[in-house]
Amino acid sequence: MIASKDLRYWRFIVILICALGFFYVGTRSKFAQSTFFNQGQSEWHSVHGNRPGSSGTTPSGLGKPPPLIGKAPGPRANATFVTLARNSDVWELARSIRMVEDRFNRRYNYDWVFLNDKPFDNTFKKVTSALVSGKTSYGLIPVEHWSFPSWIDQDKAAKTREDFARREIIYGGSAPYRHMCRFQSGFFYRQELLNQYKYYWRVEPSIDIYCDISEDPFRLMEENNKQYGFVISLYEYRETIETLWKTVKKFISNHPEHIAKDNLMDFVSDDGGENYNLCHFWSNFEIASLDFLRSQAYTDYFETLDKEGGFFYERWGDAPVHSIAAALLLNKTDLHFFENIGYRHNPFVHCPMSEQHRVDHGCTCNPAENFDWKGYSCTSRYFDRQNMVKPDGYELQM
Ligand SMILES: Nc1nc2c(ncn2[C@@H]2O[C@H](COP(=O)(O)OP(=O)(O)O)[C@@H](O)[C@H]2O)c(=O)[nH]1
Ligand SMILES: [Mg+2]
């Protein structure tokens, strides 16, 4: 009797231990599985934009990707942010940097190069270096990169400025603006502080970044062999570049060897290269290859333009200058449209089209303000020329 009672007692203890063991292993593996699943999903999501099977918004918060916290894993590209600025730009620039850091760089810690035609003051250095999570460096632009070259007739340049000011052409009366455009066109990438880098992301004061950036745009450029990336495109003011295309044609006939075989000429010209249609990528945002700008092709191109004097005798902007180079000297597959980067530079906004993307990445832009499909944008033309499928709902934003 006593023995069988003991047996029942011990049998109960063993079953209890086994049950507790199974319960423990079960809960642990379930936890591990769900963590792994989440990681897998977020990885897929970051590469492809939308998670499999996801559609519509998730107002309850269910199915949201994990928050982007901590240092991003994986390798970095050899890349830097670059900003040209005056000391007086510091507070508007501080806003821009803060947004770039919050939405992206705090997890990646890329460096930031600041350039100025005057020495940066202590406030500028203190404020900016406190905000940037990577290394900061400050360069003084050599005077030969920010002055009238010897072949420019200064009287003629001054007359142009007066004439442009009278006609109320934007920045038409400004000499510094012209130095800035010439510098951004042909000299920023030659500054010593940029020598060590392969890719740059240009950031200006007073911009907005509207969404979390979960995929490293520099790595995207590197892994896909991209050379030039943009978010907004539009038409240039004709008065500022009257003779630019004539000069581009001169370059083409002097250097046919530099024109890429599979170029994007039909993005910038509607008649096979006879005339410029004024389309350009807005260069206040650029993620691009420094090697492209350092190439012999771009060097010869800039030299032809610079000798013509249009930076001073008209008011050639660095945006059409870069864009025409990207369209003609690169193959069309070298260009990239950063759909997922919500961005504003007054007065235009790029807001990602996918509602799921906007929800998952905490976007704060109003999709109704998206400029891409409006009449003054060239992005629709870009999609057509690249044979890209336009996103669902684009007609509603026209
Ligand atoms: N150092 C320096 N930077 C300038 C000067 N003018 C403009 N910039 C910078 O060049 C970029 C373009 O100038 P911005 O005023 O934004 O021109 P907009 O975007 O065409 O209206 C910005 O990053 C400015 O901070 C200048 O005279 N000196
Ligand atoms: Mg600006």
| pLDDT tens-digit profile, the chain (398 residues) | 445 556 566 666 656 565 555 544 433 433 333 322 232 233 223 323 333 233 333 444 556 777 788 999 999 999 999 999 999 999 999 999 999 999 999 999 999 999 999 999 999 999 999 999 999 999 999 999 999 999 999 999 999 999 999 999 999 999 999 999 999 999 999 999 999 999 999 999 999 999 999 999 999 999 999 999 999 999 999 999 999 999 999 999 999 999 999 999 999 999 999 999 999 999 999 999 999 999 999 999 999 999 999 999 999 999 999 999 999 999 999 999 999 999 999 999 999 999 999 999 999 999 999 999 999 999 999 999 999 999 999 999 99
**CA–CA gap between residue 231 and residue 331 (Å, rounded):** 18
Task: Specify whether 239 is catalytic.
Answer: no
Determine the atom of ligand 1 nearest the C-alpha atom of 179: 27
Q: Which residues pair with 349 in a beta bridge?
A: 344, 370
Residue ranges near ligand 2 (ion) with Cβ within 5 Å: 204, 284
Expressed in angstroms and rounded, the spacing between residue 84 Cα and the centre of ligand 1 is 7
Output the pLDDT for position 67: 79
Mutate to test the pocket of ligand 1, among 180, 183, 187 (most ligand atoms within 8 A of CB): 180
Please report, for residues 116, 250, 254, 273, 316, the alpha-carbon distance to residue 312 in angstroms, rounded to integers and kept in the order given: 20, 19, 23, 25, 8
Ligand 1 center from residue 85 Cα (angstroms): 6
Atom of ligand 1 nearest to the CA of 184: 10
Multiple choice CATH, 79-397, 3.90.550.10, 3.40.50.12240, 3.30.360.10, 3.30.465.10: 3.90.550.10
Atom of ligand 1 nearest to the CA of 83: 23
In the prediction, which pLDDT does 4 show? Answer: 53
Write the DSSP symbol of residue 120.
P
Structure tokens at 177: 């603006």
User: b vs e for 273-304, b when ≥16 Cβ sit within 10 Å of the residue's Cβ?
Assistant: beebbbbbbbbbbbbbbbebbebebbebbbeb
Per-residue pLDDT, 16: 57
86, 113, 117, 232: residue to mutate for ligand 1 pocket, most atoms within 8 A of CB: 86
Catalytic residue among 101, 236, 286, 308: 286
- Rounded distance from Cα 218 to ligand 2 centre (Å): 22
Q: Whose CA is nearest to atom 18 of ligand 1?
A: 284
